[in-house]
Copies of this chain bind each other. A is one copy, B any other.
Amino acid sequence: MIPTRKANKRQLILDEAAKLFKQKGFGGASMRDLASEVGIEAASMYNHIKSKDEILELICFRVSGMYISQLAEIEATAASYVEKIKALISLHIRLMIEDGAAVSVANHDWKYLREPALTEFKNARKQYEKGFAALIEQGIAAGEFQPVNVSVALFTILSAVRWVELWYRPGRELSAEELEANIITMLLTGLEKK
């Protein structure tokens, strides 16, 4: 039987840490806070994790791993570039909704990683951005996209999906599917009516 993510206390600590870091920031969340959420004393957590820094690393690299493996899958499909970019936007929104706390930590608190993890994480992110940018570039070359600056297009898309973290609540007026459809409309066809 494959253990679920919450099977052991170690994973419970990581999940609660993600929520707490998202809420208070890495620096603002203390090990005593975290222990209280988990239901044990701070000292007891050190039987499950090595340090507070290790917790941050585990969260950040789990998230970067998800993005990179999913990008590889999308790259390998035979879809058009428009479809591939739509799939990437959909991926970001879905991960944000399903695993929001961890994604949020990887987005905001990665800078508190210590070397060598910091450099490793930056490289992973750069690798992801390069793959994403290549799809935009190829889409422009293929005539599917407007000849916009590739970096601007890349970061506009990446940023535009980030606010979902701040805004989305399950049971909001908009369903996840409607949210996704609206963001894709904004990014691919723009606000202005032509």
A189 within 8 A of B: yes
A143 within 8 A of B: yes
Known interface pairs A183-B156, A187-B156, A193-B143; A151-B167 also in contact (CB < 8 Å): yes
When C-beta atoms are compared, the residue in chain B nearest to A178 turns out to be B149
Contact with B along A81-109 (1 / 0, CB 8 A): 01001000000000000000000000010
Copies of the polypeptide in the assembly: 2
A160 within 8 A of B: yes
A8 within 8 A of B: no
Tell me which residues across on chain B come within 8 A of A53, comparing CB atoms. Answer: none
Task: Determine which of B145, B174, B191 lies in contact with A145 in the assembled complex, contact meaning CB atoms within 8 Å.
Answer: B191
By the criterion CB–CB under 8 Å, are B145 and A192 in contact? yes
By the criterion CB–CB under 8 Å, are A186 and B192 in contact? no
The prevalent SS among residues of A at the interface is helix
When C-beta atoms are compared, the residue in chain B nearest to A189 turns out to be B190
A54 within 8 A of B: no
By the criterion CB–CB under 8 Å, are B182 and A189 in contact? no
By the criterion CB–CB under 8 Å, are B27 and A148 in contact? no
Distance to closest chain B CB from A31 (angstroms): 15
By the criterion CB–CB under 8 Å, are B188 and A190 in contact? yes
Task: Determine which of B155, B159, B189 lies in contact with A192 in the assembled complex, contact meaning CB atoms within 8 Å.
Answer: B189
Cβ contacts A to B, 9 pairs, < 8 Å: A108-B108, A143-B193, A146-B185, A148-B186, A155-B167, A186-B187, A187-B190, A188-B192, A189-B190
